[in-house]
Amino acid sequence: MPGVRWNTLTRDDVRSRLKGGAVVVLPTAATEQHGPHLPTGHDSFAVEYIAHHAAALAGTEVVVAPTLVFGSSQHHVPFGGTLSLSTETYYRVVTELVESAIAGGGHTVLLLNGHGGNQELNQLVVRDVALAHPPDAGLTLAAASYWQVAGDALARMPELDGIRVPGHAGQFETATQMAQRADLVHLQRAARDHDRAEAPEMPGVRIETSGLWQSFDGYTDRPDLATSALGEAILATVIREVAALMTRLGPGIA
């Protein structure tokens, strides 16, 4: 089993594995409101589950760091239940964590993201950290949200036809939570008779409007239609694709 938890290793074991070419995976997530029906830790639960199961499938050695459970979630603060870092603080925290991994012998780091608000910031971190090191440093730094990594595969799933991917606390995320811990889901609180509209999307254009999140009560689409079977199918697909990414990033297993 190539995946191992960073915080179960001694300092010497971590350094040895990292110097040997192990891929460091840092899951990034959030603690934030997920509607009236999902736990505030959904993003952390999901990305950590995916990271560890994918590491076990990967064809390279992987060291999974502890999940960063606080993210850039200012847009969720008005609803309560949210512990957020500012944009600047989040960027600095993740930068310093990546730099710490490099200082400890790591050369390959994957920021595996589970919260949409972190996505662009993680990409900036890997760009800026790579630029801050000399060209011969031998670094490979990557950042992606798990639904991006598995985007093509998820698009081919007939079960997801017409469902927002990933949405926020909608059918997609409710299903993945049900597949992991159904006891934390309060599905009866999420009943809706229609999919409340969000701002229209334009390819390549980001549009932010005041009061957008409040207009659909902080959660998207129809979570009441979610099933654990759908969540299991989603997670299996994502884990497979993330494991393939880890394998591509690493040197392989002798």
DSSP state letters, 94-114: HHHHHHHHHHTT--EEEEEE-
- State residue 88's pLDDT score: 98
Confidence check: pLDDT of 244 > 90: yes
Mean pLDDT of the chain, nearest integer? 95
**Which pLDDT score, from 0 to 100, does residue 1 have?**
47
pLDDT tens string 164-185: 999 999 999 999 999 999 999 9
- Percent of the chain residues topping a pLDDT of 90: 88
pLDDT band at 201 (very low <50, low <70, confident <90, very high): confident
Instruction: List the beta bridge partners of residue 62.
Output: 3, 23
Across the range 61-89, mean pLDDT stands at 98
Q: Flag whether pLDDT at 212 surpasses 70.
A: yes
Comparison of pLDDT for 204 and 213, the residue scoring more: 213
Q: Is the peptide bond before 223 cis (omega within 30 degrees of 0)?
A: no
- Whole-angstrom Cα distance, residue 67 to residue 48? 6
Q: Chain-centre distance of CA 59, in angstroms? A: 21
Residue 199 reports pLDDT greater than 90: no
Q: How far apart are CA 143 and CA 61, in angstroms?
A: 18
Q: Is the pLDDT of residue 150 over 90?
A: yes
Residue 48 has pLDDT above 90, yes or no: yes
Q: Tokens representing 153?
A: 């595969």
- Can you say whether residue 105 is alpha, beta or left, with left for phi > 0 and alpha for psi between -120 and 50 degrees? left
Question: Are 197 and 216 contacting, i.e. CB atoms less than 8 angstroms apart?
Answer: yes
Give, in degrees to the nearest 5, the angle at Cα 166 between 127 and 172.
150
Given a contact cutoff of 8 angstroms between Cβ atoms, the answer to whether 59 and 46 are in contact is no
Whether the per-residue pLDDT at 235 is higher than 50: the answer is: yes
pLDDT of residue 204: 84
Beta-carbon count within 10 A of 29 CB: 25
DSSP strand E in 9-119: where?
Answer: 23-28, 62-64, 108-113
Phi, psi of 108 (to 5 degrees): -130, 120
Nearest to 78 by CA among 217, 197, 173: 217
Condensed to tens digits (0 to 9), the pLDDT of residues 76-120 reads 999 999 999 999 999 999 999 999 999 999 999 999 999 999 999
Whether 67 and 221 have beta carbons less than 8 Å apart is answered as no
What DSSP designation does 171 have? H
User: What is the phi/psi pair of residue 61, to 5°?
Assistant: -75, 135
DSSP bridge partners of 141: 109
CA distance 245 to 64: 14
